[in-house]
Structure 1
Amino acid sequence: MVSVANEYRDLEISVYTAPALRTVLVDLVNQGRYFLVVDLAGIAFIDSTGLGVLVGALKRVRVHGGEVAVAVPTVRIGKVFRITGLASVFAQFDTVDAAVEFLGRQAANAYA
């Protein structure tokens, strides 16, 4: 499991910043990391490009039996996930610790 460090604190994941996040996530999957936590603490805004990067990462890891969990501690970003329907696609948690605990159980089942 890997917690993706949030380099964009108090900023946004948008068409301008999403390519850097995509690169990090693709590199992690290429290294064999298939259980990822994306910490969205401090993110004030995420657009469709940013959401697309997260969906792309989810598709990449699921091919390998993995999962992406998102830590969404803010109401604003959580609302974006609900409005877009992605709340039913991603495992969402209020904290990174809860997301890591969930992925630990998922990984144990995947490798059992």
Structure 2
Amino acid sequence: MGIRQNIVRQESLMVNYTVVNDWTVVEVDGGMDIHTAPMVRDAVMGLMDEGHEHFVLDLGFVTFMDSTGLGAIIAVTKRISEESGSLRIASASNRILRVFEVTGLRANYDFRPSAEEAINSAPVRGSAAPWPYAG
């Protein structure tokens, strides 16, 4: 992978990114809750402001995610969709996948077992989940 850049570093959360094969791989390490989810959202939005369009959100090191964490991912998805970008979610644990399942959102996302697998094929412009969600 490319050079990892740190964009959030706190005691309970780290967010790094690398750019590989036109994908911006955002790795989240820590819990995504009411205190940290806005930082993750703002970090990805900041990357979009810098011109990044195609994202892999690597959740392999996410220890906990509540509805605020899911809300941050939805906000990011809306923005990526508005700008015809791409989004894949990688390395989500069964607990994280369950959050998407119980909310009925799992089918709207492209989940991959690892970031490496997610970046192996080229991004498809406009492949983020369509929003508003039609359920």
Tell me which interval the TM-score lies in, with the shorter structure as reference length: 0.7 to 0.9
**Aligned equivalents of 2:37, 2:94: Cα separation in 1:** 21
Task: Report 1 or 2 for greater relative contact order, CA contacts < 8 Å, sequence distance ≥ 6.
Answer: 1
Q: Which has the higher strand share?
A: 2
**Moved runs in structure 1, 4+ residues, more than 4 A?**
none
* 2:96 match: secondary structure: helix
**Aligned equivalents of 2:75, 2:66: Cα separation in 1:** 14
Q: What residue is the counterpart of 1:64 in the other structure?
A: 83
Q: CA RMSD in A?
A: 1.7
TM-score (normalised: structure 1): 0.83
Stretches of structure 1 lacking an aligned partner (at least 5 in a row): none
Deviation at 1:86, TM superposition (A): 1.7
Q: Which amino acid aligns with 1:87?
A: R
Deviation at 1:31, TM superposition (A): 1.2
- Tell me the alpha carbon deviations over residues 32-81 of structure 1, each in whole angstroms, 9 at most, x when there is no partner: 21111111002121111111111111111111211211113421111111
Please tell me whether the aligned partners of residues 57 and 68 of structure 1 are also in contact (alpha carbons under 8 angstroms). Answer: no
Stretches of structure 2 lacking an aligned partner (at least 5 in a row): 1-22, 128-135
> How many residues were matched structurally?
104
TM-score (normalised: structure 2): 0.70
Between the aligned residues of both structures, percent identity stands at 28
